[in-house]
Chain A
Amino acid sequence: MPENRFETVPGGRRPRPGQEHFAAEVDEGGLGAVDAVKSDEAPSSLWRDAWREMRRRPMFWVAGVIILLVVTVAAFPQLFTDVHPRFECELPKSLAGPEPGHPFGFDRQGCDIYARTIYGARASVLVGVMSTVMVVVLGTIMGAIAGYYGGWSDAILSRITDIFFAIPLVLAAIVIMSITTNRTSFTVALVLASFGWTSIARITRGTVLSVKNNEFVTAARSLGMGRGRILLKHVLPNSAAPIIVYATVALGTFIVAEATLSFLGIGLPPSTVSWGGDISQAQASIRQAPEILFYPAAGLALTVLGFLMMGDVVRDALDPKARKR
């Protein structure tokens, strides 16, 4: 351990030769915390602390397993079922109960409900992930420019954000989707993202505003770093935490929004297997076979729950105020 220039042992302060003035005890002066940092260790960053904190929470593992499972099912549905969700339907088996090989029974069209539930994951995950990525990119760019450059760009971008914020997401999506003839996962995600980015823009603007006044930004500027480079290298990485937390939760909301659109019949077309569409189908036969509604609804709820819980855990881990308690 390197020789300490300042005496740090509590109560063990001896006057050095030539020292005449009296200094406060180290602990009283608030230097104790600074001295407690071990200088030979790598500095513990926010992210490392957060990761250590998250690993301890059982909820993190539950949410992680759910998300992993749903993503695997969405990517490789063939691994989980041999039955095709659309081309192996037998109308005589309409609304029939479970039988060997078909654990959940059949829907009104005589399609295997288990296979449809498995294949339905892809649409939800795809739309959720795509719209979240678009929202994060667009919202971060708008918010960062508004917050970092201020002035006219802030005034204009903030008004644009206000305008899009004034139109409720589902309302806008219904209006646009009803006039869209080419309805794919991508267009649904695009429509949801084009009206869903405002919250991220506002959050980013707020964080960038508070981060850009930090000492390390002043230091970088006095070292001659360009404004754009400071924004990319220093300000944005330090504004990432709230954006990530919001994005995790937003993913869940977008999945629900997609299901709502498909349920209304203006989301994904019936040729795409989706949970929202299947719920809408099941609703038609709810009086004869209410249990059909359960499977797609459970898949949807489980997926959203996974992302919500993950968002909760990440927020707790990234918020040092909550951690102390």
Chain B
Amino acid sequence: MLWYLGRRLLQVIPVFLGATLLLYALVFLRPGDPVAGLGGERGLPEAVQEQIRQQYNLDQPFIVQYLLFLKGVFTLDFGVDFRGRDIMDVIAQALPVTFQLAIMALVIEAVFGIGFGLIAGMRKGGIFDGTVLVISLLVISVPTFVIGFVLQFVMGVKLGWFPVTVGRDPNFYSLLLPAIVLAATSFAYVLRLTRTSVTENLSADYVRTARAKGLRRSQVTGRHVLRNSLIPVVTFLGADLGNLMGGAIVTEGIFNIQGVGGTLYQSIIRGENITVVSLTTVLVIVYILANLLVDLLYAALDPRIRYA
């Protein structure tokens, strides 16, 4: 296990460097001068532009720019954006909101996805199974932003059950509807994964043995079927945490949440390169860490992985 852990940790380094370099290149090698447009119609004096370029290392060769940025990542100092805000402050403000939203979505999809998936899998071919399967297909095929608009309009505007937008200070209640929207697609995937996994395990030999030695139905379901069926589901959920945080851009836009997604989208539109790179780097780090965690969890749950 220790050897596996070491090998897996070593693999993170090239992935992190490669992914950040790729993102940095994509954002900073774009055509056009980010400084030239800053002053509006009249433009900034040449000397001021020159100073800004120096401040953001834009006068350095590309690879030096990247290395200086990397130094910033490790010292947790991303510098200030074009409007003078410390980017670390921007991240510190946005990240907890998105994190809370993603965790809420994760809990929702886990509880309902595993619950419905287990019932459907136990009664494969029944009415419940059929209904749930059709619903899950429909949920997957309707894009998140459509689900978002419809729920916002029906639950927020028409029925008035939830606040329509979240705004400056989010709390559990105002984030509930966005979390449901964010969770919807993954919920359907979790449900289908659990169902397939449960039906496979139900016909496994150890389940037959457990039944044969006279264990109660609830014990067989809980200890043998569910626990073994959860291995692939846990993997999916772990990897999905990264996806949820990155995919929150759309949901945060619809509900006006000031999280990573909303901030990122606004910085992209405004052309604030340094903010875009910093935020995407944070998201990529979360994504890599979530995948690392999943792999370790998987290795802990399934000994076959360690020795492969």
A residues with a Cβ closer than 8 A to B are: 159-160, 162-168, 170-172, 174-176, 178-179, 252, 256, 259-260, 263-264, 266, 276, 279, 283, 286-287, 290, 293, 297, 300-302, 304-305, 308-309, 312, 325
Contacts and interface: CB of A to CB of B under 8 A. Distances in A.
A287 B264 CA distance: 28
B145 A167 contact: no
B22 A163 contact: yes
B253 A168 contact: no
Contact of B141 (A163, A174, A283, A305): A305
A171 B280 contact: yes
Contacts of B23: 167, 172, 175
Given A166-B284, A167-B22, A175 B243 contact: no
A70 B22 CA distance: 37
* Chief secondary structure at chain B's binding surface: helix
Contact of B27 (A159, A179, A283, A293): A179
B15 interface: yes
A170 B243 CA distance: 9
Q: A174, A287, A293: which has the most chain B beta carbons within 10 Å?
A: A174
B18 interface: yes
A164 B265 CA distance: 21
Given A163-B14, A287-B157, A304-B140, A174 B265 contact: yes
B145 A305 contact: no
A309 B145 contact: no
Contacts of A312: 137
A171 B246 contact: yes
Contacts of B145: 259-260, 263, 279
A126 to B, nearest CB: 18
A168 B243 CA distance: 7
A225 B243 CA distance: 44
Closest 9 CB pairs of A and B: A163-B18, A168-B246, A304-B141, A305-B141, A179-B30, A166-B19, A297-B146, A171-B246, A178-B268
Contacts of B149: 279, 283, 286, 293
A171 B246 CA distance: 6
A166 B269 CA distance: 23
A260 B250 contact: yes
Nearest to B146: A297
A162 B146 contact: no
B27 A162 contact: no
Contacts of A179: 26-27, 30-31
Interface of B: 11, 14-16, 18-19, 22-23, 26-27, 30-31, 137-138, 140-146, 149-150, 153, 157, 199, 203, 242-243, 246-247, 249-250, 253, 264-265, 268-269, 276, 280, 283-284, 287-288, 291
B15 A301 contact: no
Contacts of B153: 286-287, 290
Nearest to B188: A308
Contact of B283 (A171, A259, A263, A297): A171
A311 to B, nearest CB: 10
A175 B276 contact: yes
Given A163-B19, A171-B280, A302-B141, 15 more contacts: A159-B14, A162-B11, A162-B18, A163-B18, A165-B291, A260-B145, A263-B250, A264-B253, A266-B268, A279-B146, A287-B157, A301-B141, A304-B143, A308-B140, A309-B137
Contacts of B31: 179
A178 B26 CA distance: 10
Contacts of A308: 137, 140-141
Contacts of A302: 141
Given A163-B18, A309-B137, A170 B246 contact: yes
A256 B143 contact: yes
27 contacts: A162-B11, A163-B19, A164-B22, A166-B15, A166-B19, A166-B287, A167-B23, A167-B287, A168-B283, A168-B287, A170-B250, A171-B249, A172-B26, A174-B265, A174-B268, A176-B26, A178-B269, A260-B143, A260-B250, A264-B265, A283-B149, A286-B149, A286-B153, A287-B157, A293-B146, A302-B141, A325-B203
With a 10 A CB-CB cut-off, give which of A159, A263, A293 has the most chain B CB atoms: A263
A250 B11 CA distance: 27
Contacts of B268: 174-175, 178, 266
Contacts of A164: 19, 22
B223 to A, nearest CB: 23
Nearest to B143: A256
Nearest to B203: A325
B283 A159 contact: no
B284 A167 contact: yes
Contacts of B246: 168, 170-171
A159 B250 contact: no
B219 to A, nearest CB: 24
A309 B146 CA distance: 20
Nearest to B145: A263
A168 B143 contact: no
B138 A259 contact: no
Nearest to B14: A159
Contacts of A172: 23, 26
A289 B140 CA distance: 25
Contact of B138 (A163, A287, A305): A305
A159 B141 CA distance: 32
B149 to A, nearest CB: 6
Contacts of B250: 170, 260, 263-264
A172 B268 CA distance: 12
Nearest to A266: B268
Nearest to A166: B19
Contacts of A309: 137
A279 B26 CA distance: 29
Contacts of A283: 149
